[in-house]
Structure formats: structure tokens, C-alpha cells
Structure 1
């Protein structure tokens, strides 16, 4: 069996689905290879809480995805950062930057439903459930082997896009090396209820075992992300609900009030995986396949989403040279500053705040104090809102609904 397309996307998660939707207006023959069957959501569409930066919200609105969200989202109007055992704290207020909010908290499952609703009219050919088996380069195209329902099939395209996550089979098939660093931490994610409703504040409490973030959801619950040392992770996973609530209360404190209950917990290892190159002949990587970063600062999906939208701009600018070396080089150049600075920020913050040496405490306190200077604060806030490096035009629209 054989089929021809202009573009084939491997991976139907948050970034892959967003990319397919964004490509729809280009009038190209786009296909998406997905591991999940029709009617079932990919595992990444779970209870994780996505802090969507203003630029991401603008982009999702421009694509028509935001309008399909059925569940309420939570406005991030204030950001509060502190570190266990260190002096000082930093608070950012959206109104100081003439914004109603820096961004919004969206549950991954809810965004998945909205993406699925948008895909219905996107005109994308969907192979699902299907497994990517490998790829080989022809003169002006890529041959892609997949398996679906026990049958092998070959797809031909001018551009192959790997959006298949951290353990990317596409990246491996293209022989693109990835630099990996294991932070020795696991994250536990769930929603929690407090006797106080969220007030628009997103807290980031940094510590030697990882961050504990408490985010304002739109359903009057908090989205809690709790980092622990991997040596303690099994014990934390075994805690019952009451003991887990008590643990979060002890680690985080009473800033969000008294926690009353916790929902189902999901557990994820924390690794940094950075591809040494973003492209190979007639192929490109986006999202977690290109870079998986530490979740401190909540920039992972935002960065991958900007990958996708920048790639669409490059596709539109090189319609006669789709998949050409010029197009791929233009994409890599356009993503360089944003990608490098975001990776450096997340990795540096994760490493420095995890170091427990008493000698470092004064330096961390000075760094927190420095964040209160107007120039540096504006730079940090701009990056957190998604305005770092070359930003896709659709992300710069006024976020009227924030």
C-alpha cells in the first residue's frame, strides 16, 4: 500500500495536532501518523496543567482552537517565586505590564478535546492507530514506512516532521544525536482543592528536590506540580490522599490556604533531552522531539508550540521549495534564539535552585533581588509570556480574551 502527501507529521500530541491545524490554510496535502486509535485521546492529553503564555493563547485563538475549549481556564494575573531556605521572593503583577493576565492555565485533556474538534475540519489525512517504522531519503522526497492494523504501508512526502515526543523514533531514524541529562527528579501532577479559591496567582516554590508549583485553574481547584528526588519518589507515590495533601501543605505552606483534597496523581521523570540538530534532509523536528526541558517556568509546551507556528511560516515562505535545504535552514535560524535562551533559562534555574550548599544561598538571594530591577524583570516577564527571539506573527495578536 502506498500514499503520497506533501507533509507527513509523526505524532498527534499537543504540538503535532497544533501544527496540523496551523497548516490547514496552506492548502497542502497533510497527513498525521498517530499512535492512538480514533475515538481515543493520546496519553499526553491527561490532567496535566498547562501554563499557556500570552503568546500561546494568542496563537491558539488565531487557529480557532481556543474557541473550542469547553472547560473554564484560569487567568495567571500574578506570579510569585521563592526558594526554600533562601531569603527573598519575587512577585510579578500583570497590571504592571498593562495586561489582564500573563497567560492562562489549561488542563491538557481539555486542550486535547479542543484540538480534536479543530482537526475535524482541518482536512488532514489521519493514520491511526499507526506506528512509525522508519524512513529513507529519495531524490526529492522521503519514504516513510508505517504499520497500521497489522499492515505495512509506505508514505511519500516532501517534508517529514517529527513531533513524536521525548523518545522520538523519528529523531533516531534520522540519526540526529540528542544530549540527555537526568535531573534525578520525578514530578507528581494533580489537581487539589483548598478552602480558598484561586485568586489568579501562580506560585513557584523552588527547592533542592525540584519545584512545587501551585497554579490557578478555572474550576476553582489548583493545579499542583510537585518535584521530588527520585530516591523518594516511590514512597511519595505510595502515600494515600490524606498524607499526600499533608506533604504538599508542609512543602508549600499556607499561601493558597488549607488544602482539603487531591485528585489522581500522575508521575513523570524529569530529563533534559536536546537534539543536536533540528533538521535532516527533507525532515525536521519540533516540540519535545527537538527539545524536552525541565518544567520549572512551565515553558515546555509554549516552546514547542512556537516551533510549530514558526515552521508553518517557513513552509508558507518556501512553497516552491518545501522541504528544501533553504527552508530547513531558515527554520533552524528562526528558532535559534528562542530555543537556546529558553533551554538555558530552564536548565540554569533547575540546577542552581537544586544545589543545597549554604554558600550558594546568598547568591540565590541576590539573584532574586536582582529580578526586582525593572530592566531584568521586563526581560524575564517578556520571555515568560512567550516573546523571546523571533515570535510567529499569529502569536503577536492582541490577547483580548486573556
Structure 2
């Protein structure tokens, strides 16, 4: 209920509780001002007694209604006694109809049941209509006709006003329920907003932690794919130098070790700044893979071939870098573990995807066992698979001991932005 509704209800209760006093006082003043309408002393004494009774009755009910609010049997008795007093007073002096009007105001508040709430105002209209018709008892036949007409008019008015009042009360109740529902909805909405704010803050923390973890994984993979492989190559070249029988061979392998060190240093710097691999700085993916495969074959002494199928596209930098890193890791694994004599790399451009296939004739391995070993912290097959999945791709490996290895990375064909 709004503040305006509360204030209106308070005023209406004030009218119901204090109104009978005021109307009884008005009727009393007017009756004594028109004392000639009551020529006998008995009538005047009766008026005094009834006015006092009405006043006492109202005082009693004002106290009794505090403990028994709302429609009740006691309220019906009070209403009936008050009506009887007002009817007799109006019979004695028509101006007491002002007091009889009181019954229009509180019938619904005092008497239970729909019929009693209708009978009460009808009974009050008898006294009011009799007063309007010239006062009771009627001495002329025309007064009865006027009384009947006034009785109909008064009850029609009471019915219309009561109906309009009921509609207004119904609208007030509906409005109060709507306001209460809106308040509950607003409270629920505020609670949801508070929960969303807390969830948003939690998501920000999780996103930050996920970003940190992803960056750590990226750096770890980059170090594994660049520095670790470069250091492995440098160690291999230095081992050849240590066992070289002539100076020219030693110088050749020392130069290769120096080139690998410079290359690894450049890759390390680019990894820190999250830049594309050195091989892709000036060339597209096909040329970078061709150079990488050729250098690897020259360094390891393994026969390596590179083939491009389909129409070559200028790929997005992230796609090119991912496939190049996968190829580098696969070549590194082949040189360390496969003991192959031949290796083939094929880059296939299809309608909506790019496929990188790497096959060797090495000794092969058990992919399931290898995955269990790398799950303890390695960056081999799992690292390549994670790189492919990061750009919505997939990696498959087919191998078995003694029958070589076939690796295939499939990623979406995303062209380079012009």
C-alpha cells in the first residue's frame, strides 16, 4: 500500500469513528432550533434521553471496536441499536436524519454477509426518506407517494455509490497487489544484479588466471619448440666436432652450431614478444616449410621431401605459425626417436581446411603409451595437439612399433586479412 493509500484509509477511519458524534451533534442543534416541531415535553425529554444514549453507545463502541475490528455479530448489534435510536429521533424531529445517514458509511465495516450489508443502508434510507418527505408520521396521502419515490431514489443512489465504491476498492486492491508484485520483482532483480556482479567479478578473476595459465603454456611450448630443439641441434653439432678427424669438418659443424644458436636466440626473443616465427617473417607457410624441411634433412642426413597440393593460399598468421610449430616439433621428434631413413611432409590446401601430413619410415611407437608418458609434463604430441585445438583444429597420429609414423594436423583455412 502506498503512502497516499495509507493516508486516505486513515482519514476514512477517522470519519467512521468521529462522524457519528458530529452528525448527532448537528441533528441535536437543529432539533432544538426547531423545538416547535416537538410541542410536548415528553417528546423533548425523549430526545434528550436518546441523544445521551446515542452518545454513550458511540463511546462504548469506540472502545469495543479496538479489540474486535472488522465485521462481527457485536458490530451488527451496535449497528441495529444505533439505527433504532436514529429512527426514533428522526420520527420525533426530521433533522435527526443527519444522524441516520451514519448508517451509509460503515455497514460494510460492521456487519458480516452481503445481505446484511444491503439491509443496513436500506433501513437507514427509510428514516432519511421519511425526513425528506416532511417528517414522520405522515399525515397526508401524498406524503406516502413522495416517501415511496424518495425511498427508491435514495436506494438507487446508495446502490450506485456502493457499486462505484466497490469498484474503486477493487482497483485499489489490484493496484496494491501490483505494487507489491513490482516490489518483489525489483527485489529479485536487485538480487540477480548483485549475483551477476559477483559472478562477473569471479569470471574476471578466472579469466585473468586462465590468461596467465595460457600464457605460461604458450611460453613453455615456444621454449620447447625453439630453444630446446635449437640446443639439441647445437649439442649434436658439437658432438660431431668433438669426434671430427679433420679441421674442415669441425669448422663446418661449428658454423652450423653457431647458426642454430643465432636462430634459437631470435626465436626466443620473438616468443617473448608473441611474434610469428622467424621463418614466416618474409615467406609464406609453403616456402617456410620447404626451407625448414630442407635444413632439417641437411642437418640430420635423413632424406626429406616436401610437397604442396591444391592451390596455395595466404593463410592467417596464427594458422601459419601453428602449422610451422607442429612441423618443427614433428621433425625434432623424428630426428631424436624415429631413426628414420626417409621422411615426407605434405601441405594440402582444401576448400575449407589445411592439412599437414608428416610420414616417416622409422621404428614407430605405441601412441597410447607415448601419451601417458607425455601427460606427466612433456610437450610432444600433447603440445602439438593443443596447438591445433587452440585454432579449432585437430591432430591425429597413426603409428605402431616397427612400421613408421604418420601424423596429420587439420586446421580451418583462414585467409590472411588484406
Q: TM-score range by the shorter chain?
A: under 0.3
More strand by share: 1
